Amino acid sequence: MKSINRPASANARTGEDADTGFALTEVVTALRSYGVPLSSSMPNTMRRLSNTVDDPPEEVIAEGRARTQGSVHRAPGRDNATRLNNIVQALNTGLPITIGTGWPQFHNARDALLDTQNPSYDHAVTLVGYRSPTGRLEDTTFIFKN
């Protein structure tokens, strides 16, 4: 898969180091064109044994087409804590947040460490929720769909 916004250095990666995902700007363009259904209507199929994904039913496509608003903005706030709080507030309203982030090179999803990201490449994921067992921001873990 070739991405129009992907740096040449990312296109050169092969095998387990290759990133076959999409950049944030590509995801927003697709969102505006096709929409996005609720995650409950189209659950994650990452652990399926098959490499193919079934076409969604017509009602899921129609639901997605009703939700086509999206744009790219920096998370508002004067510091990271404020920006993260703003993201949590948006998630609390039911608004999924698509973010661009560096994506780590890893051999197994269980071994992925987000602090070893390659900062030169933006990979899009959608934050769909979070867990915070103590209610403190520093204990918050975001739930995302890739």
Residue 88, number of CB atoms within 10 A of its CB: 17
DSSP string, 107-127: SSGGG--GGGB-TT--EEEEE
What residue spans define the domains of the chain?
Answer: 20-145
pLDDT given at position 8: 54
* Spatial separation of the C-alpha atoms in residues 33 and 121, rounded to whole Å: 24
> Digits of tens for pLDDT over the chain (146 positions)?
444 444 555 555 555 555 556 777 787 788 888 888 877 887 766 666 666 677 888 999 899 898 887 777 778 899 989 999 999 999 999 888 888 777 665 544 544 444 444 444 467 788 889 999 999 999 999 998 77
pLDDT given at position 115: 47
Q: Which amino acid is at 99?
A: I
pLDDT given at position 59: 93
pLDDT given at position 89: 94
pLDDT given at position 106: 53
Scanning 12-134, the segments in alpha helix (DSSP H) are 24-34, 58-65, 80-92
